[in-house]
Amino acid sequence: MPESGQKQILLSKIQAGQAVIGIIGLGYVGLPLALAFAEKGFRVLGFDVDLKKIEALDRGDCYISHMDPVRVGRVVQAKQIVATADFSRLGEPDTLLICVPTPLTPQRDPDMSYIINTTEQIQSRLRVGQLIVLESTTYPGTTEELVRKMLEKTGLVCGRDFYLAFSPEREDPGNAQFFTTNIPKIVGGVDQDSGDLAQAMYDQAIHKTVRVLNARTAEAAKLTENIFRAVNIALVNELKIIYERMDIDIWDVLDAASTKPFGFMRFNPGPGWGGHCIPLDPFYLSWKARECGVDTKFIELAGEVNRRMPEYMVHRLQQALNDRGKSIKGSKLLIIGLAYKKDINDTRESPAYQIIPRLIDLGAEIAYHDPFVPTVLRTRHWPEPLALASQPLTSETIASQDAVLIITDHSSVDYELIAKHAKLIIDSRGVYRKPLANVIKA
């Protein structure tokens, strides 16, 4: 069949709402995307290696705290979303959206194993007429140089027998204003037909698509967004340290600077960066730039500043305890928040998971409270988590601690109760704006 005919068949199925949408990876990116297509009437076949996720979705349960469980349950009950761990079914969908992690190695080089393993799975089932879209954040050239070459080992040709594009995820978990369907979707095809089909598909579920020249441009756009955030977070984190030495409150400075109606965009400091994007994605570009013979000094410096913030918080705690005649060793410490940001249950790359082991090494007794994280979760960097469970936040619990460390400023936490009963508070999030005798900014 001529390539234009193959394209037209798939385009017609997409526009009629009859295309089966396959989504590989049902986490913080994949599940919201599955819900978006399912609620537009598409049949979604979701793939994941985590059997707990598959079993939860089979029951109609939602394991992501900021998503509406009623909406998820409704589309699962209607069989609009079917979840499976059987990757032999990858040939069934008309489109396959890859939403798998892209972590770093211990040397901070790209760990492409998830993309490679997923592409190998697709490769063995790839059929004529399928559209493959990579959503995982990665270095420019991945879609064309890595994924395309692997898929063309089947003998099928991209742009003729199958189609390939990149469309970066732009999820912001817990953001009530922006969510999957109303965040503009960047789309870049490896070739013109691939881009046309990918744009047509996302047009069915996303309010606005932004077509770019090619997949490389789309890959670079995503990295640029996250590097912009990483660099500006590093800037305010460094300013926080500088202004603390000058006895100036960074939060008062940011409030004042934010009154300028042009030329300033506010970023807030914290105990370190977290989440799957900001701490990782800049180094994908650094790695690729080195391959091209270019140094990324600015990006590397921002990473250095952000990575030292957990240690800065420990240092501020150590100073405050010393001023009170105590050491960290033997101190009872209550951590507020394990999630990397407020009002979600996502602990990926959370600064809490860097701060807590350091405090334990120094001899502290650790307890924590997080309404979204009932138990300490296993992560790639913490494969054997401590047997800790979130403690109820009571006046007795607070008063029994030598210090309370606010790492995540969840909205539902009673900060007045903490201020009333805590001997010492180390506040990394600017929760307490008025000066209090028992509050130390960090």
Beta strands in 258-357 (DSSP E): 332-336
What is the radius of gyration, based on Cα positions, of the chain?
24
Tokens 């936490």 sit on residue:
413
| Whole-Å CA distances, 85 to 50, 82, 208, 255 | 7, 10, 31, 49
> CA 99, CA 31: separation in Å to the nearest integer?
9
Q: What tokens were used for 43?
A: 């049949």
8-state DSSP, 268: -
Q: What tokens were used for 170?
A: 């732009």
Find out whether 158 and 148 touch, Cβ atoms under 8 Å: yes
Catalytically active residues, by annotation: 277
8-state DSSP, 19: P
Find out whether 135 and 165 touch, Cβ atoms under 8 Å: no
> CA 379, CA 196: separation in Å to the nearest integer?
38
The Cβ-side half-sphere exposure at 15, using a 13 Å CA radius, reads 10
Give the number of other CB atoms < 10 A from CB of residue 385: 14
Provide DSSP, 350-406: -THHHHHHHHHHTT-EEEEE-TT-SBPPP-SS-SS--S-BPPP--HHHHHT-SEEEE
Find out whether 339 and 370 touch, Cβ atoms under 8 Å: yes
Give, for 231, the enclosing helix (H) or strand (E).
helix 215-245
